[in-house]
Amino acid sequence: MSDGTRQFPCEQCGAKIQFAPGTDALKCPYCGNQTHIPSSTEGIEEHDFLEAIAENLGNEAETEEVTSVRCGACAALVEPSPSHEAFPCPYCGSSIVARETSQRLLKPAALLPFKIDRHRATELFRGWITKLWFAPNALKKLAQLDGRLQGLYAPYWTYDADTVSTYTGQRGDNYTVTKTRTVTRDGKTVRETYQDTEIRWSSTAGRVSRDFDDMLVVGSNSLPRDLAEELEPWDLQNMVTYADEYLSGFTAERYQIDVASGWKRATERMDDVIRGDVRHDIGGDHQRILTLNTRHSSITFKHVLLPMWICSYRYKEKIYRFLVNARTGEVQGQRPWSWVKISLAALAAAAIAYILYVVFERQ
């Protein structure tokens, strides 16, 4: 993996060239010359999870020494600037001037190259902001500023596993019964019948199995997990073997969540899917899962990098982040609310309701 200082010179003019999103080449911003990046999927290998844990993440061939800088404001761990100058943190916008540190990490096995360029990502970002209801005016102005989006390769783990789950639960089937009740109609007390739906519960038990392929877990503590998961799905079938050239012109974050901690999150996400399988297996109109025991086997993993455009925005001393999936264009973000606008809207609604009430009363 690049240490953040590796640069690729143009073969024609010698200027620094960068990866061109949507292509498989590095492009010179001055003379336009392109350098093709040989892409392959042959080097994308899965690692045995239990062996990796026992060997403390593999041998020397699977790891490398990398340099990183840590943001003093949000603790993001990213590669240093090629020029060694201060640069904005992609997560909070603070200037990173921290000293470089070195650590041994697992090499990325694969990545998804950038497909959406900055111009298109900015359009998507602006469209997302302008559609927000009750957003502060300061946030609306952000949509007019160019250059706020930064290209980032975020660290992820993918996990494969075969699962077998046994469960006990209850199945609920709806049925209709006829009941009577006493009501008052036109000043008279009468008895009437009506249909009511009740649930008949019965005990059940069973077993379900599912094989998981590439369950994603974000390897960053700085990237909001809920936003990262909302960016899914990713076209992981188009991943290519990792090469430094794809990172040219972009920032890459080092993973902070290790493979063992990532596996815990992966099992949580798998459990959500398995519970859906159990409910389907129970059947009926309602389901209760009382016990669920899952056995995982053939567990493998790999470390990958996924591309996104990210922008951070500080509003009233709080940082909000906005993400664009650089493959699909999916936009997700945190947003502040303008309570002034909400209050004015509530007052306007109350005024309209009062006017309608007066009109109907006069009629």
Which pLDDT score is estimated for 4?
45
Q: Which H or E run includes 270? A: helix 259-282
Instruction: Assign 274 to helix, strand or coil.
Output: helix
- Residue 63 contacts residue 1 (beta carbons within 8 Å): no
Which pLDDT score is estimated for 3?
45
Please state whether the peptide bond connecting residue 155 to the residue before it is cis, i.e. omega within 30 degrees of 0. Answer: no
Which pLDDT score is estimated for 309?
94
Whole-angstrom Cα distance, residue 10 to residue 33? 7
The number of residues making up the chain comes to: 363
Q: Which residue type occupies 33?
A: N
- Residue 339 contacts residue 139 (beta carbons within 8 Å): no
Which pLDDT score is estimated for 96?
73
From the list 136, 304, 330, the residue with the least C-alpha distance to 218 is: 304
Query: pLDDT tens track of the chain, all 363 residues?
Result: 544 446 788 888 888 888 999 999 988 888 888 888 887 777 788 999 998 887 766 555 577 777 778 877 777 788 776 655 667 777 777 777 656 777 778 889 999 999 999 989 888 877 777 766 555 565 656 555 555 788 999 999 999 999 999 999 999 999 999 999 888 888 888 888 989 999 999 999 999 999 999 999 999 988 888 889 999 999 999 999 999 999 998 988 999 999 999 999 999 999 999 999 999 999 999 999 999 999 999 999 999 999 999 887 766 667 778 899 999 999 887 655 444 445 555 555 666 765 666 667 666
Which pLDDT score is estimated for 315?
66
With residues binned 3-state (H G I as helix, E B as strand, rest as coil), the percentages for the chain, rounded to 5, are: 25, 40, 35
Cα angle, residue 270 at apex, residues 276 and 211 outer, rounded to 5° = 90
User: In this structure, what is the dihedral angle of CA atoms 60, 62, 65, 68, given to the nearest 10 degrees?
Assistant: -160
Whole-angstrom Cα distance, residue 324 to residue 149? 9
